[in-house]
Amino acid sequence: MKAAARRDKYRVVLVPPLHADGLLPLAAGLLKACALRDPFLRGRVEITILEPWVGAEEAPARVAALKPDLAGFTVYGGLALTKKAAQGVKKLCGAKIIFGGPLAGSVPAGEIFSGGAVDYAVAGEGELAFVAVLRALLGRGDLAGVRGLSYAEGGRVAVNPPGESVKDLSTVPSPYLGGLFKWAGYPRIPFENSRGCRGSCLYCAITRNYREFGIRRARAELARILSDFPELRTLFLIDPDLCQNSAMPQLLRLLGGEVSRRGINVEIQMDLRNLDERRIPLLNDRAFILGVGVQSVFPETCRLINRRMDFGELRRKTGLLAAAAPRAKVVLSFIIGLPGDTYKNCLANFDWGLSVNAGLFFHRLRVYPGTPLGKAAARLGIKFQELDPYYVLSVPSLGAAGLKRACALAREVSLAANIVFADKYFGFLFRHIARGHAGEFPGVALCRRVNRLARADKGMAAAAAETDAFQDDGDWSGLDVNTFRERRAWLIGELAGLERGRERRAFAARYAGFCEARLAWERVDGATADRVLRLAAGERLRSPSLLVCGAASSDPARLSGCDFSRELLVEEKFGFFPTPPARDRFYADRPALPAAAAGALKGGHFRDIVVSQVLGALPAAGRVGLLRRLLGSAGFGAKLFIIDSGLGYPEFGPGWELTGSWMECARETLENDLRSAGWRLTRTVPLGKWSVFCAERA
C-alpha cells in the first residue's frame, strides 16, 4: 500500500462572513498578514482565504475541498447559520473550527460552543490572538496563555482573560499592500483608518481604545485598491465615526478625488455630535454616502444609554449638511426600543426623520449580553431574546405591547417612507405639505395616507412586495426608484391632491406638472435624444462641445454618443442617478451655478453648447449671468441649444427645501434673457412638454 504523502505545512482556511454579499474579507486578510509576518509561522503554515465569498449552504464543501487542519469563520451576525456551516466542515473533513469577529466577544461562550461545532473562539481584535493560537497548535505556546481566547477542553469551555488590542496600528501589516487577496471582482471593499471609539454608548461592543492607522497608509492602500480591484463600486469606511479621525480633512480630500472621479460610492459613518462645522463643505461630493447614527432625538433616552443628545444641535447640523454639502447622500439611523422610549417618542422620531431630506433606518434594539447594556439590562428592566439576534422584548417605559406597536407602524408605512426617500421630486413635495399641516405628527399622518394610496394601486405592487420583503421593520431607504418609475408622475399628482388651502394646492399642482415634464424627458431614450439634438443643430454636434445639465439627470449617460468635450453637472438634489465616469466633468451647486461655471468653462472655446433643464433653476440675474459666461466660452460660429419646458422652476430656500414660491421662465422671458446676454434666438423646436431653443451669437 502506498504511503500517504506527508503534509509539510499546517493548513488554515479563513472563511468570510457567510452573508458578505460582495464585501472583500478584510478581517481574514489582516489575520493572514499578521501570521505570515511571524518568523516561526511563515514556513510552517499555509493560509488560504476563501474567495470569492460563499453562502452558508456551499461553504462546507468549498472549505472541506481544501483539506484544512483549521477553518476560521468571521462572525458578524447569523451565529446559528455560521455554526451549522462549521458543523458541516467538521463532518466533511474533521478540521478544527475557530470563530472570531464582533459577535464572538458579545455573546456568552456557552452559546458559541453549544452543539460541538466550535473548538476555539477569539473575542476582541483578533490579530495577536490568532498568531498565538497558531503557535500554540504547532507546539510553541499554550492555549491557556492566549488572551481573549475561549476553547473547548475536556467537556468544558475554558475562558481566558480578555485580549489585548494592538497598541501601535502601524505594526499591523496591510493585506492590500501585501497583495493577499487573489480575486479582483469584489464590488464592495472595506477601508479601515482607525479602530475603537471615544464614545461610550452602552449598546455598543466597540472598544473605547481609539487609535489611527495614519494618512500615509491610507494613501498607499487606496492607490493599491483602485489598481487591483477594477469592479469596485462601493468603498466602505469601517471606522465607526470618521469625525474622530485627526486626518479627516485629508481623508475626505483623498476620497473625493480619484475615487469620486471613477464613479465609486464611498460609505462614511459619522456622529454629528463630533462633526466640526468647518469640515462640512469637504463632505460635498456625490460619491459620499453619510451614515449618521441619531438613535433617538430625546435627551433623556440618550442619557440612559450614555449618549449625549442636543436636539437643537442635531437640527442645526443636519440643516448645515443640507445647505453646505447638498451633493452628499445622507442616511439617518434610529433605534426602536431603547430604555426610556415610549410609543409617543417613537412617533416623534419617525416624524422628525420624515421632515429631513435623508434616508431613514429604524432598527430594533439588539441587546448583546457582552455589551455594557447587556450587563446592565436587569438593572434597567430590559428584557431581550436569549439567543441571537438578541432583539429587545420590552423596556419599562414602552412594554412589550408598545414595542410591538411601534415596530408594526414602522413596517406599515415602510412603502410610503421609502417612496419619500427614493423619489426626490416626491420627497420635496411631501415635506412641504407635511410642514403646512396641523397636528402632532403631520409627517406620520401624511405617510399613512400615502401608504394607503400606493398600496391600492396595482402599478405599485412590485414596490410594495420589495419593501414588504425587507428584513428590518424600519428600513426606509432600501427601495430603488426604478421599481416604480412608471408610476412616479401619478404618485406626485396624487400627493399634490392631498394638499390643503387654495394657494398651497395651486402650488402643489404646478409642482406636479413641473415634475411630470421633467420625468417625461427622463423617459426619452438615448437614440431619440440624439435625433432631437441633430434635428435642432441640423447636423451632428461639433467638437469641442459642452453639456450643462442636472447632476441627477440621465443626460450624461443618454447623450454619451454626442461625445461632449466637457460636462458641467448642476446639483439640484433631485436624485442620485449614477453617471458614467468622465475625465473632464465639473460639478456646481444650483445656488452658486453662475460663479462656479467660471472654472468649468475656462479655456473652453466650445462650438456647440447644450443646456438641458437647468436654466430655469436660476433667478433672472443668475440666468443672464450664466448665459453671458457661456457666450464668453463660445468659439467662432458657436451655437447654443437650450432644452426647457418653459414651466419655470420651484423656489428653494437656503436649506434646499421648497418655499411655496415659483420662478418664472416662460418662452418670452427666455428670449429676453438670451438677448440681454448677447445671444440671438434663431428657432424653436417643439418636443411636446419640452422645446429646444436654438441660439447663436448676436
Summarize pLDDT for 78-92 with one digit per residue, the tens.
899 999 999 999 999
pLDDT, greater one: 573 or 235: 235
User: What integer is the mean pLDDT of 684-689?
Assistant: 86
Predicted confidence band at 14 (pLDDT cuts at 50, 70, 90)?
A: very high
Structural domain contains residue 247: yes
Residue 4 has pLDDT above 80, yes or no: no
Of 389, 412, 435, which residue is a domain's last? 412
**What is the spatial distance between Cα 252 and Cα 227, in angstroms, rounded to a whole number?**
19
Going through 415-554 in order, the beta strands assigned E by DSSP cover 474-475, 545-550
Q: Which of 215, 167, 168 minimizes the C-alpha distance to 191?
A: 215
Structural domain contains residue 356: yes
Same domain, 333 and 455: no
Residue 451 has pLDDT above 50, yes or no: yes
Residue 6 has pLDDT above 60, yes or no: no
- Average confidence score pLDDT of the chain: 92
- What is the DSSP code (8-state) at residue 124? S
Cα-Cα end-to-end distance for the chain:
97
Same domain, 374 and 244: yes
Residue 424 has pLDDT above 70, yes or no: yes
Same domain, 200 and 146: no
Cα–Cα distance list, 616 to 549, 619, 644 (Å): 11, 7, 8
Same domain, 529 and 658: yes
User: What integer is the mean pLDDT of 378-387?
Assistant: 94
Residue 228 near residue 181, CB atoms below 8 Å: yes
Tell me how long the chain is.
698
Going by their DSSP bridges, the two strands 634-644 and 606-612 should be labelled as: parallel
User: What integer is the mean pLDDT of 674-682?
Assistant: 95
The CATH number covering residue 48 comes to 3.40.50.280
Same domain, 511 and 561: no
User: What integer is the mean pLDDT of 669-675?
Assistant: 93
Q: Which residue has the cell 388651502?
A: 501
Helix/strand/coil for 26: helix
Q: How many CB atoms lie within 10 A of CB 374?
A: 21
Residue 55 has pLDDT above 70, yes or no: yes
User: What integer is the mean pLDDT of 669-697?
Assistant: 91
Q: How many CB atoms lie within 10 A of CB 48?
A: 16
**What is the spatial distance between Cα 457 and Cα 487, in angstroms, rounded to a whole number?**
9
The CATH number covering residue 313 comes to 3.80.30.20
Helix/strand/coil for 11: strand
Structural domain contains residue 175: no
Summarize pLDDT for 278-292 with one digit per residue, the tens.
999 999 998 999 999
- Comparing 135-139, 377-381, 686-690, the range with the smallest average pLDDT is 686-690
Name the grid cell of 487.
Answer: 408610476
Name the grid cell of 372.
Answer: 455594557
User: What integer is the mean pLDDT of 459-486?
Assistant: 91
Name the grid cell of 61.
Answer: 464543501
**What is the spatial distance between Cα 14 and Cα 32, in angstroms, rounded to a whole number?**
9
Q: Which of 246, 235, 294, 316 minimizes the C-alpha distance to 268?
A: 235
Predicted confidence band at 155 (pLDDT cuts at 50, 70, 90)?
A: confident
Q: Which residue has the cell 406597536?
A: 405
Residue 432 near residue 662, CB atoms below 8 Å: no
Structural domain contains residue 586: yes
- Comparing 174-188, 369-383, 591-605, 668-682, the range with the smallest average pLDDT is 591-605
- Comparing 98-107, 162-171, 400-409, 535-544, the range with the smallest average pLDDT is 535-544
Going by their DSSP bridges, the two strands 288-295 and 265-270 should be labelled as: parallel
Predicted confidence band at 7 (pLDDT cuts at 50, 70, 90)?
A: low
User: What integer is the mean pLDDT of 669-685?
Assistant: 93
Q: Which residue has the cell 461545532?
A: 117
Same domain, 464 and 440: yes
Domain limits at 455?
A: 413-523
Same domain, 495 and 552: no
- Which letter, b or e, does each residue of 526-548 get, where b requires 16 or more Cβ atoms within 10 Å of its Cβ? eeebbebbeebbeeebeebbbbb
pLDDT of res. 211: 97
Entry pTM? 0.92
**What is the spatial distance between Cα 117 and Cα 96, in angstroms, rounded to a whole number?**
9
pLDDT of res. 535: 82
The CATH number covering residue 536 comes to 3.40.50.150
Of 367, 396, 412, which residue is a domain's last? 412
Summarize pLDDT for 283-334 with one digit per residue, the tens.
999 899 999 999 999 999 999 999 999 999 999 999 999 999 999 999 999 9
Residue 683 has pLDDT above 80, yes or no: yes
**What is the spatial distance between Cα 479 and Cα 471, in angstroms, rounded to a whole number?**
13
Summarize pLDDT for 615-630 with one digit per residue, the tens.
999 998 899 999 999 9
Structural domain contains residue 434: yes
**H-assigned helices in 293-342:** 299-304, 311-324
- As a whole number of Å, the CA-based R_g of the chain is 29
pLDDT of res. 160: 96
- Comparing 85-89, 490-494, 592-596, 656-660, the range with the smallest average pLDDT is 592-596
Same domain, 358 and 381: yes
Predicted confidence band at 450 (pLDDT cuts at 50, 70, 90)?
A: very high
Give the rounded distance of the alpha carbon of 353 from its chain centre. 17
User: What integer is the mean pLDDT of 106-113?
Assistant: 92
In one letter, which amino acid is 419?
Answer: I
Residue 55 near residue 15, CB atoms below 8 Å: no
pLDDT of res. 577: 64
pLDDT of res. 158: 95
In the chain, % helix, strand, coil (3-state, to 5) comes to 45, 20, 35
Going by their DSSP bridges, the two strands 156-159 and 149-153 should be labelled as: antiparallel
Summarize pLDDT for 131-153 with one digit per residue, the tens.
999 999 999 999 999 999 999 99
pLDDT of res. 537: 82
Residue 3 has pLDDT above 60, yes or no: no
CA angle 481, 660, 647 (to 5 degrees): 70
**What is the spatial distance between Cα 424 and Cα 422, in angstroms, rounded to a whole number?**
6
Summarize pLDDT for 570-612 with one digit per residue, the tens.
999 887 666 666 668 888 998 888 888 888 888 888 999 999 9
Predicted confidence band at 634 (pLDDT cuts at 50, 70, 90)?
A: very high
Cβ contacts of residue 154 below 8 Å, gap of 6+?
A: none
Structural domain contains residue 572: yes
| DSSP β-bridge partners for residue 189 | 235
C-alpha neighbours within 13 Å on the C-beta side of residue 274? 17
Residue 129 near residue 144, CB atoms below 8 Å: no
Cα–Cα distance list, 211 to 123, 124, 219, 242, 249 (Å): 18, 15, 17, 12, 17
**What is the spatial distance between Cα 234 and Cα 188, in angstroms, rounded to a whole number?**
5
Same domain, 542 and 484: no
Kindly state the percentage of the chain with pLDDT values over 90: 78
Same domain, 426 and 575: no
Same domain, 218 and 271: yes
Predicted confidence band at 380 (pLDDT cuts at 50, 70, 90)?
A: very high
Residue 423 has pLDDT above 90, yes or no: yes
Structural domain contains residue 174: no
**What is the spatial distance between Cα 579 and Cα 577, in angstroms, rounded to a whole number?**
6
Of 386, 412, 438, which residue is a domain's last? 412
Largest CA distance in the chain: 98
pLDDT of res. 2: 41
The enclosing H or E element of 362 equals strand 359-364
Structural domain contains residue 27: yes
Same domain, 506 and 607: no
Domains identified in the chain, total number: 4
